[in-house]
Amino acid sequence: KAGVTQTPRYLIKTRGQQVTLSCSPISGHRSVSWYQQTPGQGLQFLFEYFSETQRNKGNFPGRFSGRQFSNSRSEMNVSTLELGDSALYLCASSPDSMNTEAFFGQGTRLTVV
């Protein structure tokens, strides 16, 4: 069974640009969550989607958005990039609403210059 797949693995963008990251959950998993990992703030929850609906949201500005498609694949978008958005973005999937033990992908390393 394939794990959580995130693309791309590495990305370099310029301040002010926007970026879209993709996550394909484990087959059959319906919940997808996104986290940002930085050296200063650690792992922070961005948002969670379940059955194409945003179910939970963290404390990030509106520049961070996401969506989930009918096949459970998810994308997150960051607009008007800032230097501080440089981070490892991790996606996690879970079978349903009763499981907290999420399975993480390898992440997308975003560098904003």
Partner 1 sequence: DQQVKQNSPSLSVQEGRISILNCDYTNSMFDYFLWYKKYPAEGPTFLISISSIKDKNEDGRFTVFLNKSAKHLSLHIVPSQPGDSAVYFCAASKVQGAQKLVFGQGTRLTINP
Q: Which residues bind partner 1 (CB under 8 A)?
A: 4, 31, 33, 35, 42-45, 48, 50, 55-56, 58, 90, 92, 94, 97-107
Return the structure tokens found at 18: 């926007």
Smallest gap, in angstroms, from Cβ of residue 27 to partner 1? 17
Q: Which is nearer to partner 1, 17 or 101 (CB)?
A: 101
C-alpha distance from residue 112 to each of 15, 48, 85, 97 (Å): 6, 24, 7, 34
Smallest gap, in angstroms, from Cβ of residue 98 to partner 1? 5
How crowded is the C-beta side of 113, counted as CA atoms within 13 Å?
4
Smallest gap, in angstroms, from Cβ of residue 4 to partner 1? 7
Taking the CA atoms of residue 108, residue 111, residue 112 and residue 113 in that order, the dihedral angle to the nearest 10 degrees is -160
Q: Which is nearer to partner 1, 62 or 101 (CB)?
A: 101
